[in-house]
């Protein structure tokens, strides 16, 4: 299986882009929180979506976002609604339903798809992939988008949560 870096290099020939790892964080830690939103549907009650880090590659055409889900409930939660939302047909098990919107133009961007039809986002190509969030815990994910180089802020939309607006691109 190709690593995340190899997929980005092959699919987009962008050698300067550094990958972001997926992992788990303790709920008591605050990994440079850029914004958050509460769940607004029955399956997301007691969960918080967080935008943790945004980076643009040197060419300016790719933006990576580290995001997480915090579980403030007393039960483990499986995140099965974050998969494909019917717009694209990604192969495999990914969180391809997470999108970004540019506030100025209102354009929606879906995670990139590599040459194999796989989402370049948290999923089966990650070193660690968490399909659930433990009670009182937090799980971290990432997504890669192609946006215009002049975009300075984004709105992160995680299915089942209010949008996280005005996230600055670092």
- 8 Å CB contact between 154 and 148: no
Residue 8 pLDDT = 44
Residue 107 pLDDT = 94
Domain tally for the chain?
A: 1
3-state SS string for 47-89: EEEEEEEEEECCCCCEEEEEEEEEECCCCCEECHHHCCCCCCC
- 8 Å CB contact between 159 and 111: no
Q: Please tell me the pTM assigned to this model.
A: 0.77
Band (154; pLDDT cuts 50, 70, 90) = very high
Q: Give the position of tokens 């889900």.
A: 69
Residue 89 pLDDT = 64
Distance, in Å, from the CA atom of 5 to the CA atom of 23, rounded to the nearest integer, reads 16
Other Cβ atoms closer than 10 A to 99: 20
Instruction: At 108, list the tokens.
Output: 């929606």
Give the residue numbers spanning the domain of 59. 4-168
Helix (H, G, I), strand (E, B) or coil at 4: helix
**Residue 90: C-alpha distances to residues 4, 39, 68, 101 (Å):** 16, 25, 21, 20
Mean pLDDT, all residues of the chain: 77
| Residue range 158-169, pLDDT digits in tens | 989 999 999 999
Residue 20 pLDDT = 35
The yes-or-no verdict on residue 100 having pLDDT over 70 is yes
Q: Give the position of tokens 């933006």.
A: 63
What number of H helices and E strands is found in the chain? 1, 11
- 8 Å CB contact between 151 and 169: yes
For position 89, which CATH number holds?
A: 2.60.40
| Residue range 46-96, pLDDT digits in tens | 999 999 999 999 999 999 999 999 999 999 988 776 665 555 566 666 777
Distance, in Å, from the CA atom of 144 to the CA atom of 165, rounded to the nearest integer, reads 17
């Amino acid at each position: 299986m190709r690593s995340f870096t190899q997929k980005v290099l092959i699919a987009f020939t962008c050698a300067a882009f550094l990958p972001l790892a997926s992992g788990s964080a303790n709920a008591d830690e605050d990994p440079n929180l850029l914004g958050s939103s509460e769940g607004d549907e029955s399956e997301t009650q007691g969960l918080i979506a967080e935008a943790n880090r945004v980076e643009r590659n040197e060419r300016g055409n790719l933006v990576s976002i580290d995001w997480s889900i915090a579980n403030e409930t007393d039960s483990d939660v499986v995140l099965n609604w974050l998969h494909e939302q019917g717009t694209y047909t990604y192969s495999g098990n990914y969180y391809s339903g997470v999108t970004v919107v540019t506030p100025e133009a209102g354009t929606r961007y879906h995670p990139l798809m590599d040459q194999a039809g796989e989402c370049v986002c948290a999923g089966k190509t990650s070193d660690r992939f968490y399909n659930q969030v433990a009670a009182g815990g937090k799980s971290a994910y990432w997504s890669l988008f192609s946006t215009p180089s002049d975009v300075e802020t984004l709105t992160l939309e995680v299915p089942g949560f209010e949008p996280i607006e005005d996230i600055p691109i670092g």
